[in-house]
């Protein structure tokens, strides 16, 4: 098939269709990017920032079109659509703002007779392969800092969010970004692998599945290029005995079910001190029942469909397996009128009497289901939280800051939260361990993967 078809989860209709780029056109794009980057890298940071800030403004000006467009593409309710653009703006402006300090020369202690420093140089062309679940947030993590660092950028967006790539292209065009510096590419998996293996890109930033990450590494093998990977997650939360119960319930319900549970750092399993467990579960279930599952274009809807019917069926399968092994489902799916097997519309579900023999507690769900287990204390909670092949983020609810830091040091994860979850602070590195991937975006560290160090060792004339 030489086209990418976007099927909307709202009603199963064909929402958009775009032709794949041809091999000759792709070669032209790569040449244009290389030529444009040679000039772009010579611009000052202030000049690059001017273009990028104009692009941010241009994107925000499209909000009224983007919000319903997102609902049609991936199912997020329109009442929440503007939130992603606020996060897009926060991250973009932050990374632009810290570029001067993050990219400044590194100067060691003085040495008589020498001038010594390390300069951060752009890599060349950066390929960003972005996912559908937070299509603006995930893409901006790499696109803006890559440009600020002096690179050209190629964006390959997920087929489910084809129009997001076009919005980025429109924003940069309206900002007057030099021709050839940014390209939105419509590629299939084979073309993406071939592009990486061509040796004509110098860095790949990929957000997606573990299997997709393996494909990226395989395509890049032998070409000595950087590959940044943010892959799967099964993020845990621990509610200690000293936690604010109402706050923990409210935040963890939202952290579990926002975006229909389709969040890389969404909460998928919860461990609660046995003293708080009964009250926590009661409060969690009561709040979960207040969701409104339905058409994401309706302002009353608080829970939209999953991205496709197959994703919903996968989660239904996890729930069925868990209940067959003794888990108890506390939500009556029939009370959500829109829930229907074979469709992407899936009611939220809360499971108790679960254990780590069940897939729902170990394998990524990426849907509106969460298992809750009681624990005897910190040691058991930490052991269970680390019992996972993933490690993106972990959250601890407690009134004891020192305890949170102490327990956080024991967690095998990229980010430790206290009394919050499911949020990226652009001042902190976004990274993971184990099968969640490698590399980092955001913060000052995010620039290190988009530049290469060059050392200058200059000796004064004798």
Q: Which of 69, 230, 268, 364 is catalytic?
A: 230
The residues with which 350 forms a beta bridge, in sequence order, are 370
Question: Are the CB atoms for 437 and 211 separated by under 8 Å?
Answer: no
Active-site residue flag, 230: yes
Dist. CA 119–CA 239, nearest whole Å: 45
b/e sequence 26-48, b meaning 16+ C-beta within 10 Å:
beebbeebeebbeebeeeebeeb
Whether 48 contacts 196, CB under 8 Å = no
- 3-state class of 160 per DSSP? helix
Taking CA atoms, 66 is separated from 39, 72, 76, 135, 347, in Å, by 32, 10, 12, 11, 26
Packed helices 210-220 and 189-197: angle between N→C axes, nearest 10 degrees: 40
In sequence order, the 6+-apart residues with CB closer than 8 A to the CB of 258 are: 80, 266, 422
CA 221 to chain CA mean position, Å: 24
Q: Which residues are catalytic?
A: 230
């Amino acid at each position: 098939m030489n086209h990418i078809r976007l099927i909307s989860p709202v009603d199963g209709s064909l929402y958009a269709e775009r032709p794949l780029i041809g091999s000759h056109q792709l070669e032209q794009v790569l040449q244009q990017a290389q030529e444009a980057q040679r000039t772009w890298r010579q611009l000052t940071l202030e000049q690059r920032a001017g273009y990028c800030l104009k692009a941010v403004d241009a994107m925000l000006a499209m909000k009224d079109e983007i919000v319903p467009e997102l609902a049609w593409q991936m199912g997020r309710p329109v009442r929440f659509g503007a939130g992603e653009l606020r996060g897009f703006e926060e991250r973009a402006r932050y990374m632009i703002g810290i570029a001067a300090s993050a990219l400044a020369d590194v100067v060691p202690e003085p040495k008589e007779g020498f001038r010594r420093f390390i300069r951060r140089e752009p890599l060349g062309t950066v390929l960003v392969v972005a996912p559908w679940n937070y299509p603006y947030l995930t893409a901006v993590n790499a696109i803006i800092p890559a440009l600020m660092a002096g690179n050209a950028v190629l964006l390959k967006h997920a087929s489910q969010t084809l129009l997001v790539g076009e919005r980025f292209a429109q924003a940069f065009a309206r900002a007057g970004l030099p021709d050839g510096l940014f390209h939105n590419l419509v590629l299939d998996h084979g073309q993406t692998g071939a592009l990486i293996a061509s040796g004509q890109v110098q860095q790949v930033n990929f957000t997606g599945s573990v299997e997709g990450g393996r494909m990226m590494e395989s395509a890049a093998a032998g070409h000595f290029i950087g590959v940044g990977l943010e892959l799967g997650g099964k993020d845990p939360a621990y509610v200690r005995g000293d936690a604010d119960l109402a706050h923990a319930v409210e935040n963890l319900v939202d952290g579990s079910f926002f975006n229909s549970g389709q969040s890389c750092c969404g909460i998928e399993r919860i461990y609660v001190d046995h003293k708080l467990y009964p009250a926590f579960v009661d409060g969690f279930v009561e709040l979960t029942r207040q969701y409104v599952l339905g058409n994401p274009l309706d302002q009353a809807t608080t829970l939209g469909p999953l991205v496709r019917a197959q994703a919903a069926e996968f989660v239904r399968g996890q729930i069925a397996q868990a209940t067959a092994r003794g888990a108890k489902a506390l939500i009556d799916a029939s009370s959500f009128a829109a829930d229907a097997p074979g469709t992407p519309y899936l009611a939220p579900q809360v499971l108790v009497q679960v254990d780590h023999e069940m897939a729902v507690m170990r394998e990524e769900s990426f849907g509106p289901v969460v298992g809750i287990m009681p624990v005897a204390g910190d040691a058991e909670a930490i052991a269970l939280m680390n019992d996972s092949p993933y490690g993106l983020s972990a959250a601890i609810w407690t009134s004891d800051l020192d305890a949170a830091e102490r327990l956080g040091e024991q967690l095998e994860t990229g980010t430790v939260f206290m009394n919050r979850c499911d949020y990226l602070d652009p001042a902190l590195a976004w990274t993971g361990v184990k099968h969640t991937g490698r590399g980092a975006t955001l913060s000052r560290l995010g620039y290190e993967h988009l530049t290469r160090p060059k050392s200058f060792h200059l000796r004064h004339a004798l």
